[in-house]
């Protein structure tokens, strides 16, 4: 089987979240004694910025909105590979995991969404990468199979003693996953991928709380209603990446629009350059 091609959703989704983080910065938080041109870009946090219309009302609204956008994009634009017979194969869940894996790595393992972390089912202990002192880090283990043999009494492969939900959401991304630091486990089911026997029940046991498990599919994510949004996100990515390469410029524009004057310039800071009018139009459409 050949290597699979990357879905266009990966780059588009990452840039969409980055754009939201930048454009949702609150100008009121800016210090008038400092130039926005010298401020670092805000961190990539999914919870900031505009979000799609409400879906799946109830707990974990933000997580559902963020993950359904990616889920629906991957449902339409999956990663693609080729079988030994030359047949095209769609990898829907690889599209999701590849995207979230990349975001987690780019954040130094401090991403809000952790794809495919393996857990000891009965204890809920996640298999995490360990530092030289043997302490768990925020990254998933690269050798969970060897760990399972050593750490799960009577471990038998293939019997569900290790569970790997599609996405784990920690309460605090800066700390290692644990039952105490788990917000929710997310299982995603694309067309043709049915829920396995005891799968959700096992996840509830892993989480230690049945309310901390949610299932996403094309119906409850309302993917049919989201296709316009999905296509828009992919289509606008290149344009917005170009416009937002200098995030300091965006913050300067927002400062100007809020205070009705140019930001104070610190010696050596770059002046507002080309592209300001386009960014103003994008941030504040008429």
Q: Would you write out the chain's pLDDT as a tens digit for each of its 286 residues?
A: 457 888 989 988 888 777 666 655 443 343 333 332 222 333 323 333 333 334 444 578 889 989 999 999 999 999 998 888 888 889 999 999 999 999 999 999 999 999 999 999 999 999 999 999 999 999 999 899 999 999 999 999 998 999 999 999 999 999 999 999 999 999 999 988 989 889 999 999 999 999 999 999 999 998 887 666 666 666 666 555 555 555 556 666 666 666 666 666 543 444 444 444 554 455 445 5
What local confidence, expressed as pLDDT, does residue 225 receive?
76
Q: How many domains does the chain have?
A: 1
Establish if 138 belongs to a structural domain: no
What local confidence, expressed as pLDDT, does residue 229 receive?
64
Whole-number Å distance between alpha carbons of 37 and 19: 17
Establish if 255 belongs to a structural domain: yes
Q: How many CA atoms lie within 13 A of 9 on its CB side?
A: 28
Establish if 261 belongs to a structural domain: yes
Establish if 240 belongs to a structural domain: yes
Establish if 137 belongs to a structural domain: no
What local confidence, expressed as pLDDT, does residue 86 receive?
80
Establish if 180 belongs to a structural domain: no
What local confidence, expressed as pLDDT, does residue 191 receive?
87
What local confidence, expressed as pLDDT, does residue 39 receive?
29
Whole-number Å distance between alpha carbons of 215 and 220: 9
Establish if 203 belongs to a structural domain: no
User: What pTM was computed for the model?
Assistant: 0.70
Residue ranges making up the domain that contains 36:
1-109+216-286
Establish if 145 belongs to a structural domain: no
């Amino acid at each position: 089987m050949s290597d699979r091609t990357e879905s266009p959703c990966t780059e588009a989704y990452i840039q969409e979240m980055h754009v939201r983080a930048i454009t949702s910065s609150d100008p009121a938080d800016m210090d008038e004694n400092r130039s926005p041109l010298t401020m670092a870009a805000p961190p990539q946090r999914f919870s900031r910025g505009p979000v799609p219309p409400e879906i799946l009302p109830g707990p974990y609204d933000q997580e559902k909105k963020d993950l359904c956008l990616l889920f629906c994009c991957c449902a339409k634009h999956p990663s693609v590979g080729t079988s030994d017979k030359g047949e095209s194969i769609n990898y829907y869940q690889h599209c999701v995991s590849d995207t979230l894996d990349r975001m987690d790595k780019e954040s130094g393992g401090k991403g809000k969404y952790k794809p495919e972390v393996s857990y000891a089912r009965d204890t809920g202990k996640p298999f995490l990468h360990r530092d030289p002192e043997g302490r768990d880090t925020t990254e998933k283990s690269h050798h969970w199979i060897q760990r399972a043999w050593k750490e799960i009494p009577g471990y038998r492969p293939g019997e569900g003693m290790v569970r790997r939900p599609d996405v784990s959401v920690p309460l605090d991304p800066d700390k290692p996953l644990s039952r105490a630091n788990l917000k929710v486990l997310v299982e995603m089911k694309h067309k043709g991928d049915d829920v396995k026997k005891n799968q959700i029940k096992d996840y509830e046991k892993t989480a230690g709380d049945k309310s901390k498990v949610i299932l996403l599919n094309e119906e409850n994510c309302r993917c049919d209603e989201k296709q316009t949004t999905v296509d828009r996100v992919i289509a606008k990515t290149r344009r917005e990446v170009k416009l937002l390469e200098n995030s300091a410029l965006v913050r300067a524009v927002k400062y100007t629009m809020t205070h009705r004057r140019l930001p104070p310039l610190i010696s050596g800071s770059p002046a507002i350059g080309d592209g300001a009018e386009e960014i103003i139009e994008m941030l504040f459409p008429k």
